[in-house]
Amino acid sequence: MHSIKSALAESASTLASISESALLDAEILLCQVLQKDRSHLRAWPDKQLEATQLEQFKALIEERRKGMPVAYLTGYREFWSRDFQVTPDVLIPRPDTELLIELSLQLIPSNQPVKLIDLGTGSGIIAITLAAERPHAQVIATDFSPAALEIAKRNAKHHHITNIRFQQSDWLDNVPDAQFDLIVSNPPYIAEDDSHLQEGDVRFEPQTALIAAQHGLQAIQTIVNSACSRLKTHGHLLIEHGYNQQRLVQTIFQDLHYDKVHTYQDLSGQPRVTYGQWNS
Ligand code: GLN
């Protein structure tokens, strides 16, 4: 027999060697099995688990022990206070990307029909959050991967978003002619020989969403380059990048004559998003 408390303690010790948040991981997975939130676990620590619940929980803990990210096991991750469905076809939302949202919202007036596009939308977190926070905006979300677009569409439907159009496209290649007030992207930017790719959750994430050639800069170079002809005069470009890419990304913007080039730091103080304005 296992109580909630003993099942959690045992699982947390099983996960201690592979996760820095072993107890939290176990709690989230048990919530998934019980279909309750974490306050239930705190309120009823001595409640006995049924045999089928224990079996399901142990199976999830075993998957997690082998490295599978918690978000892929539950199928959800929260971003900007909304739940998003995630599968191994899309990157798991990171808190770092909330910086892109903050900066975008500062740039978009709340009551105007601005046109904006999110390139490489994945699960749709950026496009959907901006469409929800700015209902007057006309949003396009692209991805190269049809499987990712399906997830993004499901997330948009789940949040009752109607001001997004989805488009399968290699960056801006298949996007019908239009000029944008804002182009935003969290592209792949990790170099293929980066040792982080062998650790933790990223091992299970789609490589096309993580890795880019030219030391991680190829996608950024393509986007910044093609955005020149697709931004309105005074339009804005915001790109997420690696903590050590600030100087190189700024150079890409400056070489193409963007104005007001500036890099902003994420919550952990790392250079994370570079901005440029198109004034030609
Ligand atoms: N920030 C992510 C990481 O370092 C990478 C996301 C991306 O490549 N866009 O794991």
Tokens in use for 185? 């992207």
Ligand 1 close to Cβ of residue 96 (< 6 A): yes
Residue 239: exposed, middle, or buried by beta-carbon count in 10 A (0-12, 13-18, 19+)? buried
pTM: 0.95
Distances (CA, A) of 89 to 26, 122, 226: 24, 8, 26
- Residue position matching structure tokens 């020149």: 228
Ligand 1 close to Cβ of residue 202 (< 6 A): yes
List the chain domain ranges.
4-67, 77-278
Please provide the CATH number assigned to the domain covering 77-278: 3.40.50.150
CA–CA dist 241, 97 (Å, integer):
10
The helix (H) or strand (E) run that includes residue 63 is helix 51-65
Which residues lie closer than 8 Å to 108 by C-beta, 6 or more apart? 114, 116, 130, 134, 137, 181, 182
pLDDT in tens, the chain (280 residues): 799 999 999 999 999 999 999 999 999 999 999 999 999 999 999 999 999 999 999 999 999 999 999 999 999 999 999 999 999 999 999 999 999 999 999 999 999 999 999 999 999 999 999 999 999 999 999 999 999 999 999 999 999 999 999 999 999 999 998 999 999 999 999 999 999 999 999 999 999 999 999 999 999 999 999 999 999 999 999 999 999 999 999 999 999 999 999 999 998 999 999 999 999 8
Domains 4-67 and 77-278 share a fold: no
Distance 262 CA to ligand 1 centre (A): 20
- Atom 2 of ligand 1: nearest residue by CA position: 210
For residues 104 and 182, is the Cβ–Cβ distance under 8 A?
yes
**What 3-state DSSP class applies to 50?**
coil
CA–CA dist 223, 58 (Å, integer):
44
| Domain 4-67 listed as CATH 1.10.8.10 | yes
Ligand 1 close to Cβ of residue 189 (< 6 A): yes
